[in-house]
Amino acid sequence: MDRFRQIEIFIAAVEHGSIAAAGRALELSPAMAGKYLSALESTLGTRLMHRSTRALSLTDAGQQYLAASKRIMEALAEADAEAREGRSQLAGEIRLGVPRAFGTQKLAPVLAAFCRAHPQITLNLHTDERYADLIDGRLDLAVRIGTLSDSALYTRPLGSVRMGLGCAPGLLGAHERQNVPLIRQLPRLVFTAARSPGDWMVSDSDNRAYAIDGPTAMRSDDITLLIRAATEGLGIVYAPMFALDEPLDDGRLVRVLADHQTTRLDLQIVYTDRHHQPARVRALIDHLAAVSMRLRLDAAVGVASLHQQGWLEGGHSGPSTYVCRRTFPMTWCDSSASWAATIFSRGKFNPIFGEYFPANRQEVMSLMAFCFASSGTL
């Protein structure tokens, strides 16, 4: 029997709730539709659904096969359409899951550029700080930050995200912001959707680790809400640096323990099938990866420029071993746009570099590129 016809009837039976209804939808008798399904199960050597006189229910194998079958049929329909129309332009819908804050603050312009390049593609975005199940949510792919527990997913690395601590300027004095014992007593604003170990952990230049474990003032699965509460002076917040950039830059927040190391989280694309992806989905994956790679190439140029200007020495063991001229060993840079804007517009003392210097625009651009290299983020 035609394998694609078997799959088509299997999908229709699930969507319509019965084999008879699937047969009617596809202009087949109930008996013939049942034969197609039995033949499919016989070929696979496993039962896909439980049948009763009242309803159908999928087995675990049936759940997995249904998701894969839908992707196969969608890819076939796309290939047929392109062959009929001779179409070279990608088209159709892509269902993408993204963390809400990251999507708003970092991915929006990247995705807008993709849509401009492919005007016949529609992006359907599912925004949630929690990990959405790709199969249950019928997502083609997702961007995720943190540790993955599902080893069945395929991944494409994009870089990493640096975490940081911040609070309202009035909560701590300038000299108190590096005082670990004092900071450990402050109320915390806790993000409940975190999926990685090492939350609220910092380490000093001697690699001594400390847990910031003060009392909890607020919990939420919305990191933007917690950051807003921090600007109101409620407590300290532990969040990705991309989410802290704006309130740090406009002065609503200040860095806490800026000279300490914090956790770095993996940033990656995840998807369930690497062999039967529609061309439009592959194009989006390649677009996101290309943006990440371009930033790293720009960063390499920036590091070389800083070396030539005499601003950096060392770096043979990785970016964390760079030494700024006349100062101390550098820790990982972060919040590149904020630091560069601060140095250029206000010429302020920079605790990461440990010195005051009146930067010109060329040096600022080099610094921004170097920070991108250190953070590895989009």
φ, ψ for residue 350 (rounded to 5)? -110, 110
Of the pLDDT bands very low, low, confident and very high (cuts 50, 70, 90), residue 198 is: low
- List, for residues 303-340, the tens digit of each pLDDT value: 455 455 555 444 433 333 333 333 322 332 333 333 33
What structural domains and CATH numbers belong to the chain?
Answer: 3-85 (1.10.10.10), 92-158+266-293 (3.40.190.10), 162-265 (3.40.190.10), 295-375 (no CATH)
Of the pLDDT bands very low, low, confident and very high (cuts 50, 70, 90), residue 81 is: low
Window from 83-92, 327-336, 337-346 with minimum mean pLDDT: 327-336
Q: Once rounded to an integer, what is the mean pLDDT over residues 202-223?
A: 92
> Which one-letter DSSP state was computed for residue 132?
P
- Residue 143: what pLDDT? 92
Of the pLDDT bands very low, low, confident and very high (cuts 50, 70, 90), residue 46 is: confident
Q: Once rounded to an integer, what is the mean pLDDT over residues 219-248?
A: 94
Give yes or no for residue 135 having a pLDDT over 50: yes
Window from 17-21, 59-63, 82-86 with minimum mean pLDDT: 82-86
What pTM does this model have? 0.60
Task: Please provide the average confidence, as pLDDT, over all residues in the chain.
Answer: 76
Window from 27-31, 226-230, 341-345, 374-378 with minimum mean pLDDT: 341-345
Give yes or no for residue 375 having a pLDDT over 80: no
Q: Which residue has the higher pLDDT, 305 or 205?
A: 205
Give yes or no for residue 227 having a pLDDT over 90: yes
With vertex at residue 74, the alpha carbon angle to CA 71 and CA 78, rounded to the nearest 5 degrees, is 140
Q: Once rounded to an integer, what is the mean pLDDT over residues 172-199?
A: 87
The rounded distance, in Å, linking the Cα atoms of 19 and 10 is 8
Give yes or no for residue 195 having a pLDDT over 90: no
- List, for residues 237-288, the tens digit of each pLDDT value: 999 988 998 999 899 999 999 888 888 888 899 998 776 778 889 899 988 8
The candidate with the shortest Cα–Cα distance to 353, out of 317, 313, 304, is 313
Q: Once rounded to an integer, what is the mean pLDDT over residues 111-123?
A: 92
Q: Once rounded to an integer, what is the mean pLDDT over residues 351-360?
A: 35
Of the pLDDT bands very low, low, confident and very high (cuts 50, 70, 90), residue 84 is: low
Q: Which residue has the higher pLDDT, 24 or 307?
A: 24
Tokens standing for residue 82: 């392109």
- Residue 116: what pLDDT? 92
Q: Once rounded to an integer, what is the mean pLDDT over residues 79-91?
A: 65
- Residue 216: what pLDDT? 95
Q: Once rounded to an integer, what is the mean pLDDT over residues 39-62?
A: 84
The rounded distance, in Å, linking the Cα atoms of 1 and 69 is 17
The 10 Å CB-count burial string (b at 16+, else e) for 101-122 is bbbebbbeebbeebeeebeebe
* Residue 372 burial (CB count, 10 A): 23
With vertex at residue 179, the alpha carbon angle to CA 177 and CA 183, rounded to the nearest 5 degrees, is 80
φ, ψ for residue 329 (rounded to 5)? -60, 135
Give yes or no for residue 228 having a pLDDT over 60: yes
- Residue 197: what pLDDT? 59
Q: Once rounded to an integer, what is the mean pLDDT over residues 40-57?
A: 83
φ, ψ for residue 268 (rounded to 5)? -155, 160
SS3 187: coil
